Structure 1
Amino acid sequence: MVQDSCEHEGEGNASRTDLRGRISRRRVLGSSAAFGAITIAGCLGNGDDDGNGDDDGTGDDDGNGNGNGNGEADGGQVAIISSDAGFGDNAFNDNALAGLEEAAEDFGLEVTQVEETETAQFAARQEDLAAEGAYDLIVMVGYQHWEGLAENAEQYPDQYWMLINDHVEGAENVSGWIEMNNEMSFLAGVAAATLTQEDIQHGDSSTDPDESVVGFAGGEDIDLINAFEQSYIEGVEWIDDSIDVLTGYGGSFSDVEALNEVASSQFDDGADIVWHAAAAAGAGAFSAAQDNDRFALGVDTDQSVGDEQYADVILGSAIKALNEATYMVTEAVVEDNWEDVSGEQNLSIENEGIDFIVGQEFVGELPDSLDENIEAARQAFIDDEIELTCGPTGC
């Protein structure tokens, strides 16, 4: 599906890779409702098509999910290919897209969305877009794009690429962003462990501090999400290793019902807070929390806003500023400063690209112990006092 709209660890070398001060509640909203199907005439390119991403505005759509717009743009086009979870996940696909939407508004660009949920087609979608020669930047969401990109980045050396959750060693035309998902998951564990020991009541939901049991509900049972699980457990244990952590997988990033069953089972077994790492399927954990008068934590974005119908049970969300990263890379292209973002970059606690924020209905209502423990964990990472079993993309 294509929509034209407008809007391993490492040390990043970009001048704006340091995201201190840029992350905010407004900037990490994950709601797909914010994305309009509007095209703004672009001005990034010089109006001619020389194969380096400057389009002449004669866009077409071949019906295979590869369009370069509706012909209204004079230049300045960027494209984004989803992960297998697809857009509308209120998580990292939408978060990445939000940065492009904001850049499009600020710099007068045209954004093309390519939703590809079959990982076997990722390389082909990349090549289709690059072969058009129309896009100043092509963004790929998810490490599963790596294999295809390793070849396509070499095949199309004049094309600028951005890869989220991995990088391509030695490819100067690729800006590869490693999200420190392990750090984000650890913060979620710290929050869950802190709050399960507190007496929290909101609406019909409450915790049971005498039991102190929390849950983790993953999407697909793969290395990436296994790393989320293990890092979450280590965050819980950092607070109190006597807290029980229940874990399970729904088997999908889109099957809401399957994840609801996993979370419901954990609530039945005593959990009063469940954190999910399941993209769009995560709504199942939120609905299970409502049904069982318990609570949940969001992932990637402030899901109390993106999934506002569940705001009454979302105590907070562990977040990453992917939108800041996609904005930053787009800006580098606009300003002809690609060297600032080329190569391996990262989103970490240290550069404030990873954080935990309180849900919108709970601001000012949660115990001080949450802020204290989250801040202590942040500082411990900055001081290199925490060593995690798993890396950001696997164990």
Structure 2
Amino acid sequence: MDDKLTESDGPARISRRTVLASGSVIASTTVFAGCLSGDDGGDGEDGGDGGSTTRVAIISSPAGFDDNAFNDNAVQGLEEASDEFDLEYSTVEETEESQYESVQADVAESDYDLIICVGDNHTDPLETNASEYPDQNWMLINNIVEGADNVSGWIEMNNEMSFLAGVAAGVMTQEDFEYEGSSTDPDGMTVGFVGGEDIPLINAFEQSYIEGVEWVNEDVEVLTGYGGSFSDTGATNDVAESQIDDGADIVWHAASAAGGGVFSAAQDNDRFALGVDVDQSVTEDQYQDVILGSAVKALNEATYTVSEAVVNGNFDEYVGEQNLSVEQGSIDFIVGQAFEDELPDALTQNIEDAKTGFENDEIDLSCGPTSC
């Protein structure tokens, strides 16, 4: 590929503001099971109980809130909706997947107009609860519930997002780049990937990242490893440290709250890292000097959209599979705030070429957005 920049005729891209996750809006709320009358379940026909305050609950993924990534970005959409509409929301933090079926049921008994379940981990329990509570509006992030007419299932094209991260890593490891003591090693051409839990979803992140790197240059080596959780920064730090010791000059993570361990490893070893889901050069600004950029998705737009639909009484329009993709302008790669106007044109060119490739169906990935 040449280094000449091209104009894109695709959809409007995500702005930095769009993908910020604000930890300050998170206020975890304990939800107790209560009596729920048959008329107050929020069936999407009356705009949130006949024009009264719309009540939304959001149940975390195993990473929990304050992850400066996936969960917080979902909550940000609710914060935006609460500013615009007569809407209030509660956060329900549950990090044990084994508890999801009972927690979902408890919240459904507590009279909410919409319950948002963050992450594919909620899928199996929701298949049961969507049937048990047919008048309850549900939103599921990262999967769908087949045949359910009360679930809005949002699948982010994580494979596209991961591919863009791979493109960025593949370009930058070939560049002779230095910033405030950190540097790349173009002679080594080695990058890393650190996942949280070793599960099909994160395996798809890994493989799509590798394919993005290889799309740029098949000779770049990709080191991979898993920390074992989405919250243990020490474990991801160990994996990233090992990869850096083995020559990786840029490491991307798909580890949610545990990703801070990757950033600290890069900072301590004068290398670089890439963020995930949101602009982590902002949400993890103590590491902004090493976060070259972030592969992002506008999940807040999805939670805002579905909340607005419940307020307006048109939730039914969003039942079934919904998507966030490059083609829709909802998946992108954003340069870190410390590196604006600092990175080479080759990065911009390759990212734009990759996005155009997705928009024109010219890139085939081995994995889907949730598994391989």
User: Which of the residues 140, 158, 165 maps onto 1:163?
Assistant: 140
Which portions of structure 1, spanning 4 or more consecutive aligned residues, are displaced by more than 4 angstroms? Answer: none
User: Which of the residues 13, 33, 41 maps onto 1:52?
Assistant: 41
What is residue 94 of structure 2 aligned with on the other side?
116
Structure 2 CA distance, aligned partners of 1:144 and 1:169?
A: 15
Name the amino acid aligned to 1:254.
S
Helix, strand or coil: the match of 1:361?
Answer: helix
TM-aligned CA distance change 1:154 to 1:36, over 3 Å: closer
| 1:37 to partner: Cα distance | 7.8
User: Which of the residues 269, 273, 286 maps onto 1:296?
Assistant: 273
- Structure 1 residues not aligned, in runs of 5+: 1-18, 39-47, 55-73
Helix, strand or coil: the match of 2:337?
Answer: coil
| 1:384 to partner: Cα distance | 0.9
How high is the TM-score relative to the length of structure 2?
A: 0.91
Name the amino acid aligned to 1:27.
T
Q: Would you say 1:251 and 2:233 are equivalent positions?
A: no
Name the amino acid aligned to 2:104.
Q
User: Which of the residues 309, 312, 319 maps onto 2:289?
Assistant: 312
Helix, strand or coil: the match of 1:126?
Answer: helix
Name the amino acid aligned to 2:319.
S
Name the amino acid aligned to 1:261.
D
| 1:144 to partner: Cα distance | 1.1
| 1:35 to partner: Cα distance | 3.8
| 1:34 to partner: Cα distance | 4.3
Q: Would you say 1:353 and 2:344 are equivalent positions?
A: no
Structure 1 CA distance, aligned partners of 2:68 and 2:239?
A: 20
Deviations 1:209-236 (A, max 9, x none): 1211100011111111111111000000
TM-aligned CA distance change 1:294 to 1:322, over 3 Å: same
Q: Spell out the pairing of 1:22-171 with structure 2 (5 A cutoff).
A: 23-35=14-26, 50-53=39-42, 75-132=53-110, 134-171=111-148
Deviations 1:12-42 (A, max 9, x none): xxxxxxx95473211211241344689xxxx
Name the amino acid aligned to 2:14.
I
Count of residues in correspondence between the two structures: 349
Helix, strand or coil: the match of 2:109?
Answer: helix
Structure 1 CA distance, aligned partners of 2:73 and 2:271?
A: 27
Structure 1 CA distance, aligned partners of 2:177 and 2:25?
A: 32
Structure 2 CA distance, aligned partners of 1:131 and 1:20?
A: 41
What is residue 7 of structure 2 aligned with on the other side?
none
Structure 2 CA distance, aligned partners of 1:151 and 1:98?
A: 28
Contact 1:53 1:77 in 2 (8 A): no
| 1:50 to partner: Cα distance | 3.0
Choose between structure 1 and 2 for higher RCO, CA contacts under 8 A separated by at least 6 residues.
2
| 1:252 to partner: Cα distance | 1.0
What is residue 184 of structure 1 aligned with on the other side?
161
How high is the TM-score relative to the length of structure 1?
A: 0.85
Q: CA RMSD in A?
A: 1.8
Contact 1:23 1:324 in 2 (8 A): no
- Structure 2 residues not aligned, in runs of 5+: 1-9, 30-36, 44-51
